[in-house]
Amino acid sequence: MAVQQRFKQVFGTGRLLAVPNGGSVQQPYADLYDIEVDFKTDLKPIFGEGQYPIAVADGHREIDITAKSWSLDLESLATDFNIAAPASGTDSYIFDEKVTIVAHTYTLANAPDTSSGASTVQLTMYVTNGGITFPVLYEQVASGHEVAGVSFSLSGSTITLATADTATSGKVSYLYANTNGTMVVIVNNYQNSSPIYTLDLFKRDRSPIDNSVGVLWLHLQAVRFGGTKFPIKENEWASWDRTFKAYADPTGTVGTLTFCNQ
């Protein structure tokens, strides 16, 4: 039998699991690297003539959770937003496809998606002037109005440049239909529509007493999703940050905090 620790020290991150109301499957928030659970109390002091309060009352209490993950999981995000589960088939983007102009035309590797009525083709050609090569962003124009070093036209998957642009090179980026992806559609839902979760945070450690595994377990009975943000920075890993707020369920239970050695 493991020797129980009287005092618990925690190092490193843990594992966060959620079950939406009406559900039976725990959703993990993958690659969790940082989570903060903030128990807050609204303190209300009253004053007489002195500098210090003559009494302090504890008022409202709140529990705010901020969870940071390395990985994006569209399924749990769809549940958080109360939107349809991820569906297969979506648009994708080709970045910097190499372009070599032969007879002032080039055929794209994929048909660009123009279903919205707007072109997404971004064509950059390399123009040499005075022995120096410059990248030039070309403008899309109607067929027959192409100008060398300035513009191009698009018909289906074929890019056409002015005759003088023959034997030049560049790169092109564009949107195209891709059936290999998954997508969630963010919609304008009614207020108070996101699911209520039970939320479980587990943190394991080795006991310094007898090398048994100790588990710290925070269970919150009723939690609502508060929002997400994912800053993308140069030379940094992107972090998917989510916030939650816990509250008491109809029985008045907020949750439990447990520690035991296994």
The full set of domain ranges for the chain reads 15-40+59-85+185-261, 89-183
Q: In terms of CATH, what superfamily is 15-40+59-85+185-261? A: Hcp1-like (2.30.110.20)
Q: What is the pTM of this model?
A: 0.78
pLDDT one-digit tens code per residue, 139-155? 999 999 999 999 999 99
Please give the Cα distance from 39 to 225 (Å, whole number): 17
**What pLDDT digit, counting tens, does each position of 158-215 carry?**
999 999 998 889 999 999 878 788 889 999 999 999 999 999 999 998 877 788 888 8
Give the bridge partners for 46, in sequence order: 55
pLDDT recorded at residue 208: 78
DSSP calls for the chain: -PPPPSS----S--EEEEEETT--SPEE-TTEEEEEEEEEEEEEEE--SSSS-SEEEEEEEEEEEEEEESS--HHHHHHHHT-PPPEEEEEEEEEEEEEE-BTTEEE-SS-B--TTSS---EEEEEEEETTEEEEEEPEE--TT---TTTEEEEETTEEEE-GGGTT-EEEEEEEEEEEEEEE-----PPSS-SPEEEEEEEEEEE-TTT-PEEEEEEEEEEEEEEEEE----TTS---EEEEEEEE--TTS--EEEEEEE-
Q: What is the mean pLDDT of each run of 10 residues along the chain (262 residues)?
A: 74 91 85 94 97 97 95 89 86 91 93 76 90 92 93 93 91 87 90 93 86 89 94 92 95 93 80
So what's the pLDDT on residue 117?
A: 63
| Average predicted confidence (pLDDT) for the chain | 90
